[in-house]
Amino acid sequence: MLRPRKKYTVYELQQLKGQRVLTHIHVKSPEEADAAERAGVDLMSCSFDSPEAQARLPLLVAAAPNSFLSGSTPHGMASPEEAIRVGFRALELGASSVYCSGSPRLIEAMAREGIPVVGHLGLVPRHVTWTDYRAVGKTAAEAKVLYTKMKELESAGAYAAELEVVPHELASYLSTNTSLLLMSLGSGSGCDTQFLFSDDILGEYEERLPRHAKAYRNFLAENRRLQDERIAAFREYIAEVEEGRFPARENLIEMDPAEFATFRASLD
């Protein structure tokens, strides 16, 4: 069933905190953005960390014009000034906000200029050399560090934070003790949004699905089937050309015989 579309503002999202859990999908193509909007997904995010991704952002915005879309900034922005430039560029291309896994210093620089910023807490894939790929916050000491980092994001001016692979009890506690919108990626149902990547939902990974994710379709098998069909179609085309069966009569453009005779006579 199609749900009515509402392109949220950050203000409206903040008013929804504690009222209901929002759905949130990371999309990677205009087709996925269009499908998410038609399905009624509340929030979307996308990459904005390469020239290709930056060129794709306007296409995603055009495909889902009534949707709130955040663009993830490049890893390793060297200065607050660079962060500000990247943030404004994302907004100019149609993003509703930006995501940044960098330090509160970078987030504060963007927030001071009025750029809506989403931070990151818990497992940060770009920083796994410090944590390895595991749940973060299972001990009291780690939980305290997470709480402190959350408060630092608040003070820096972020309006939200992705909370990745954190024990659900801790995630629920953090969500009720912050003004930030906490976006749960593998952190249970007690946050403000449920966040999944389209690759997980559509079942596109070769690897084992992460524990916190769920596949609702098997696009991997369907994509393999389509690739086999492409190869078969190309082979049939090659065979028909080699055997003289393509182009056939129905593929040809006919010229009136009299006109062709006139043309030949003009040359003679």
Whether the bond into 247 is cis, omega within 30 of 0:
yes
The whole-angstrom separation of Cα 152 and Cα 97 is 19
Is 92 tagged catalytic?
no
pLDDT value of residue 104: 97
| Residue 130 sits in the same domain as residue 162 | yes
- Mean pLDDT value across residues 126-154: 94
Residue 5 forms part of a structural domain: no
Q: Would you place residue 5 in the very low, low, confident or very high pLDDT band (cuts 50, 70, 90)?
A: low
Answer whether residue 209 shows pLDDT above 90: no
Q: Would you place residue 207 in the very low, low, confident or very high pLDDT band (cuts 50, 70, 90)?
A: confident
Residue 14 forms part of a structural domain: yes
Residue 66 forms part of a structural domain: yes
Check residue 40 and report its DSSP letter.
Answer: T
Place of tokens 């820096």: 156
Residue 78 forms part of a structural domain: yes
| Residue 188 sits in the same domain as residue 245 | no
Answer whether residue 4 shows pLDDT above 80: no
pLDDT value of residue 267: 96
Q: What mean pLDDT is reported for the chain? A: 95
- Mean pLDDT value across residues 136-151: 97
| Residue 157 sits in the same domain as residue 256 | no
Check residue 249 and report its DSSP letter.
Answer: G
> Among candidates 194, 192, 217, 112, which has minimal Cα distance to 156?
112
Residue 52 forms part of a structural domain: yes
The whole-angstrom separation of Cα 85 and Cα 82 is 5
| Residue 250 sits in the same domain as residue 145 | no
> What is the identity of the amino acid at 118?
V
Contact between residue 166 and residue 150 where contact means Cβ atoms under 8 Å apart: no
pLDDT value of residue 208: 80
Contact between residue 212 and residue 185 where contact means Cβ atoms under 8 Å apart: yes
> Among candidates 97, 104, 149, 105, which has minimal Cα distance to 123?
149
Share of the chain above pLDDT 70, in %: 98
Rounded to 5 degrees, φ, ψ at 242 are: -65, -30
| Residue 89 sits in the same domain as residue 213 | yes
Residue 1 forms part of a structural domain: no
Q: The CATH number of the domain where 107 resides is what? A: 3.20.20.60
| Residue 113 sits in the same domain as residue 186 | yes
pLDDT value of residue 136: 94
In this structure, how many other beta carbons lie within 10 angstroms of the beta carbon of residue 122? 27
| Residue 99 sits in the same domain as residue 130 | yes
| Residue 87 sits in the same domain as residue 163 | yes
In the Cβ-directed half-sphere of 13, how many Cα atoms lie within 13 Å? 26
Residue 4 forms part of a structural domain: no
| Residue 179 sits in the same domain as residue 241 | no
pLDDT value of residue 206: 80
pLDDT digits (tens, 9 = 90+) for 14-50: 999 999 999 999 999 999 999 999 999 999 999 999 9
pLDDT value of residue 127: 84
Question: How many structural domains does the chain have?
Answer: 2
pLDDT value of residue 130: 84
Query: Which domain range does residue 255 map to?
Result: 222-267
Contact between residue 44 and residue 24 where contact means Cβ atoms under 8 Å apart: yes
| Residue 99 sits in the same domain as residue 195 | yes
Report which secondary-structure segment, H or E, holds 43: strand 43-47
pLDDT digits (tens, 9 = 90+) for 222-255: 999 999 999 999 999 999 999 999 999 999 999 9
| Residue 59 sits in the same domain as residue 85 | yes
> Among candidates 164, 70, 169, which has minimal Cα distance to 121?
164
Residue 2 forms part of a structural domain: no
pLDDT value of residue 1: 42
The whole-angstrom separation of Cα 47 and Cα 62 is 16
The whole-angstrom separation of Cα 70 and Cα 98 is 5
Residues in the chain: 268
- Mean pLDDT value across residues 254-265: 96
| Residue 138 sits in the same domain as residue 240 | no
Answer whether residue 86 shows pLDDT above 90: yes
- The residue from 31, 81, 164, 229 that is catalytic is 164
